[in-house]
Amino acid sequence: MAIPLSYNFRNLFVRKTTTIMTALGIALSVAVLVGISALVSGLNGALAVTGDPLHVIVMRQGSTAELNSTVTREQFQNLKFIEGITEENGEPMASLEVITVFNLPFRSNPDEVANVNVRGLPPMGIRLRETAGTLQISRGRWFDPGKREVAVGRGIFETNDGTSIGDKLNFGRGEWEVVGVFDAGKSAYNSEIWADANLLAVDLGRGGTLSTAMLRAEDEATAAALKNRVADDQRLLLEALSEREYYEKQTMSGQPVQVLGVFVSIIMAIGSSFAAMNTMYAAVARRAREVGVLRMLGFSRGSVLLSFLLESLLLSLLGGMLGCLLVLPLDGLGGRIGNFITFSITTFEFEITSGALLLGMSFAAVMGVLGGVLPARAAAREEILGSMRNV
Amino acid sequence: MSEETGQGEQAVELRGVVKEYRRDEFSVLALNNVDLDIPRNDFLALMGPSGSGKSTMLHLIAGIDRPTSGRLTVLGDDIGGMGEKELAAWRSENIGYIFQTFNLIPVLTALENVELPLLLTRLSKKQRLENAKTALDIVGLSDRLDHYPRQLSGGQEQRVAIARAIVTDPAIILADEPTGDLDAASAKEALNALALLNEQHGKTIVIVTHDPHAARYARKTRYLEKGDLLPEGQLPEDWFATTAPT
C-alpha cells in the first residue's frame, strides 16, 4: 500500500513559503500558456464565426484577400443571375462590395494608430448578413445610402478613438459621420467600418470596379454548386470560395503569436521544472530520516518514489490551478491583433476554454513529474541506514 | 566472542556472524564472529562502549543491514538470504523498532503515526484505527490521539514510538537507546511500557543502552567490546571507569 497522500499534503502545507514560491513559478508558466491559448481560441473563434456556410465570396482569380481583389459592375450583373442564389422579395441576395483600409488611433493611446477595414456595401449586403444571424445595430442606426455616414463595428468602437456616434472620420475624399455601432456577435465584422458602397467607391476613385461580391445560396449544397458555377464560367474570370473557407485561412494570422507564446511557455516551464526539482531535492534532504523510518517500517522503495513524485505533482497542480485562476479574468476580455492577410487589425475576445485549462493543468503536471522524478529517485535509492545517519 | 547453547525455542540465533564495514582502503570490524541465542519472550539489554557493535547487532537482527558472513536466523527465518522486498515485508510483520530520537513523522498525528505500519497490512481503515487506538491505550496515551509530535513531551513521543512498534503485534521489539533523549521520569515511563509488553504480552525485547538504569529492566544484560560479544557475566575492561552507574 502506498504512503498516504495526507503525508504529502501536510508536508506541502508545513513548508508553506517554499510551496507557494515554487507554485507561483509554475503558475506563471501555465498562465502564459493558457493566456496564449485563450488568445488563439478567441481569434480563431472570431474568424471562424464570421463564415456563414451559405455565403459565397467571389473574388478576382488569384486574389488571396478581399483587399487585392477586383470585381467589376459588369461581372456582378452576370453573377447576380447565376442559379442557386437565394432571393428576397424577388431580388437576388447578392452584394457588390468595396474594401479599403485607413488609419485610426487607439482609444488607449491616441498616438498609436492601426489599420482598420472599411467596407462599402449596399443595403442588401447588410440584409444578407442579418439573415445569417447575429448582426444587429446596437447604438444609433445604419448609414443611409447616398449619405457620407458610417456604422462602426463594436470592436472598433471599443478600441479606437473618434468612433462614437456624431464623431467624424476622415478618409477618402472627406469626412464621414459615425451614425451607429453594430454588433456582429463574435465575428470579425466587429473590426470593420461600414459605409455606402457607391459613395465609398467614388471616393476611392473605383467607380466601376469594386472589390468583391457576396452571394447567399439557398442551402449548403447549392453553395458548393454556386462556387463551381462561378469558377467554370469563362466570361467571369472570377473565383469563389465559401465565406467560412475564406476566414478560416485568416486564422493563420494567430500562428506567429501562438508559436511565440508556446516557445516562451516552454522556456519558462524549464525554469519552473528546475525550481520544482530544487524544492523537491531540499524536501528529500530534509526528510532523509523520515524516508529511513518509512523504509524501516516496511514501505518499499517504489512507495517512497511514488510518494515524492506525487508530492511534486501536487505542488505543480497547485501551481497549475493558480495559473489558471490568474488568467480567468481574461475570459471575454477584448483584444486586437494585426491580420497580415487583410493588413488591418482584427478584434476578438479572449476565450478560455475547458480545453485550454486542461492543457494548462497537463502542462503543470508534466513540469511536476519532470521536476520530481530525480529527487524521488534519489529518496528511493537511499539505504535505510544511510538515511538514518544522513541527518 | 561467546559460545551459547540453545535453550528451547529461540527468537534470534547468530552463528559466527561477522560484520565488516569497508570504506575506500579502510575496513572496520564491527562484529567479530558473534554467536548468540535470544530465547522467545526474553528481555535482553546489550551494553558496551561506543563503537563496540551494539547498534550494528540490532540493525542485523532488524534486517536493515546484512552480515558480511555467518548465519543469522530470526524467528526461524534465515534473513541473511532474503531479497530486499521479502525482507521489507518480513520486517513489517515481525519487527517493531524503537529509535533513540523517536523518529515520528512530524506532519502526522499520534494516531496516524501509529496507524502507518498497518497501511502495509490488509486491514480495513476501521480495523487499522481500532488497532492503533489499542496500541496507544497500552502505552497510556489514549487521550493524545490527535496530537502532533510537536505537541507531546519527549516521554510521550517515545511512547507513541513504542505504540507504533507494537501495533502490528510483532514478536520482537528492538530498541536503540530508547531512553537516550529522555529525562529520568520520561525514561521510566518508556521502560515501564517495554517491561509491560515483555511481561504481559510476551514480546521478545532487545534494547541497546548505555544507561545501567535502563538495563535493570531487562532480564539479562550482555556486553560487547570492540566487536566481540563478551561471555555472560563478563564486563568490558575499564567498564566502571568509563561509566558512572548509580
For residue B88, give the nearest of A292, A300, A385 by CB distance: A300
Find, in chain B, the residue whose alpha carbon is nearest to that of A287.
B105
Residues of B in contact with A294 (CB under 8 A): 105, 116
Identify the helix (H) or strand (E) that includes residue A246: helix A243-250
Helix (H), strand (E) counts: chain B: 8, 10
Residues A9, A87, single domain; the answer is no
For residue A4, give the nearest of B103, B119, B164 by CB distance: B119
Residue A369 in any domain: the answer is yes
Residue A83, domain extent:
55-216
Residues A78, A157, single domain; the answer is yes
Residue A166 in any domain: the answer is yes
Query: Hey, where are the domains in chain B?
Result: 40-63+81-234
Residues A166, A284, single domain; the answer is no
Per DSSP bridges, beta strands A91-92 and A238-242 are unpaired
- The pLDDT value recorded for residue A341 is 64
- The pLDDT value recorded for residue A336 is 67
Residue window 113-132, chain B: list those with CB within 8 Å of chain A.
116-117, 119-120
Residues A307, A330, single domain; the answer is yes
pLDDT for B246 beyond 50? no
Residues counted in chain A: 391
Identify the helix (H) or strand (E) that includes residue A24: helix A16-50
Q: Compute, in degrees rounded to 10, the torsion defined by CA atoms A319, A323, A325, A330.
A: 180
Q: Compute, in degrees rounded to 10, the torsion defined by CA atoms A327, A332, A338, A341.
A: 120
Q: Hey, are the CB atoms on B103 and A293 less than 8 Å from each other?
A: yes
Position of cell 525485547? B205
Q: Hey, are the CB atoms on A10 and B107 less than 8 Å from each other?
A: yes
Residues A164, A303, single domain; the answer is no
With an 8 Å Cβ cutoff, is A300 touching chain B? yes
Q: What percent of chain B is predicted at pLDDT more than 90? A: 57
- The pLDDT value recorded for residue A1 is 62
Residues A192, A303, single domain; the answer is no
Residues A180, A67, single domain; the answer is yes
Residues of B in contact with A293 (CB under 8 A): 99, 103, 105
Query: Which residue, among B60, B79, B105, would best test binding to A if mutated, counting the most A CBs under 10 Å from its CB?
Result: B105
Copy the grid coordinates of residue B91.
520486517
- The pLDDT value recorded for residue A345 is 67
Residues A100, A18, single domain; the answer is no
Q: What is the mean pLDDT of residues B120-146?
A: 92
Find, in chain A, the residue whose alpha carbon is nearest to that of B56.
A385
Q: Hey, are the CB atoms on B64 and A384 less than 8 Å from each other?
A: yes
Per DSSP bridges, beta strands B95-98 and B172-176 are parallel
Q: Is B214 within 8 Å of B179 (Cβ atoms)?
A: yes
Residues of A in contact with B164 (CB under 8 A): 297
* Alpha-carbon span B243 to B228, nearest angstrom: 19
- The pLDDT value recorded for residue A340 is 61
Q: Is B41 helix (H, G, I), strand (E, B) or coil?
A: coil
For residue A301, the Cα-to-chain-centroid distance in whole angstroms is 47
Q: Cβ of B79: how many Cβ atoms within 10 Å?
A: 23
With an 8 Å Cβ cutoff, is B103 touching chain A? yes
- What pLDDT digit, counting tens, does each position of B175-227 carry? 998 888 778 888 888 899 899 999 998 999 999 998 888 999 999 999 999 89
- The pLDDT value recorded for residue A371 is 86
Query: Which residue, among B93, B98, B119, would best test binding to A if mutated, counting the most A CBs under 10 Å from its CB?
Result: B119
- The pLDDT value recorded for residue B59 is 93
What are the distances in angstroms from CA A341 to CA A192, A242, A252, A254, B142? Answer: 15, 17, 9, 11, 76
Question: For the purposes of burial, counting CB atoms within 10 Å of the CB of B233, is it exposed (0-12), middle (13-18) or buried (19 or more)?
Answer: exposed
Q: What are phi and psi of A272, to 5 degrees?
A: -65, -35
Residues A196, A165, single domain; the answer is yes
Position of cell 529518496? A379
Find, in chain B, the residue whose alpha carbon is nearest to that of A12.
B107
- Per the structure, the count of domains in chain A is 2
- The pLDDT value recorded for residue B35 is 94
- The pLDDT value recorded for residue B170 is 93
Residues A160, A303, single domain; the answer is no
Contacts 24+ apart (CB under 8 A), B13-16: B13/B37, B13/B38, B13/B71, B13/B72, B13/B73, B13/B74, B14/B57, B14/B60, B14/B70, B14/B71, B14/B72, B15/B70, B15/B71, B15/B72, B15/B73, B16/B69, B16/B70, B16/B71
For residue B92, give the nearest of A290, A297, A388 by CB distance: A297
pLDDT for B3 beyond 70? no
Per-residue pLDDT of chain A (391 residues), as tens digits, is: 678 888 888 888 888 888 898 888 889 888 888 888 888 788 777 666 667 889 999 999 888 788 888 999 999 988 888 888 999 888 999 999 999 988 888 877 888 888 888 999 999 999 988 887 778 999 999 999 999 999 999 988 988 888 999 999 988 888 999 999 999 887 778 889 999 999 999 998 887 889 999 999 988 889 989 888 888 888 888 888 888 888 777 666 667 777 777 788 788 788 878 888 888 888 888 888 888 889 888 888 888 999 999 999 999 999 999 999 999 888 877 666 666 666 666 677 788 889 989 999 998 999 888 888 898 888 888 888 877 765 4
Residues of B in contact with A3 (CB under 8 A): 119
Residue A167 in any domain: the answer is yes
For residue B117, give the nearest of A11, A290, A298 by CB distance: A298
Q: Hey, are the CB atoms on A300 and B112 less than 8 Å from each other?
A: no
Residue A279 in any domain: the answer is yes
Residue A324 in any domain: the answer is yes
Find, in chain B, the residue whose alpha carbon is nearest to that of A10.
B107
Topology (CATH) of B40-63+81-234: Rossmann fold (3.40.50)
Residue A204 in any domain: the answer is yes
For residue B105, give the nearest of A293, A300, A301 by CB distance: A293
CA-based nearest distance A289→chain B, Å = 7
For residue B64, give the nearest of A4, A289, A296 by CB distance: A296
Q: Hey, are the CB atoms on A385 and B106 less than 8 Å from each other?
A: no
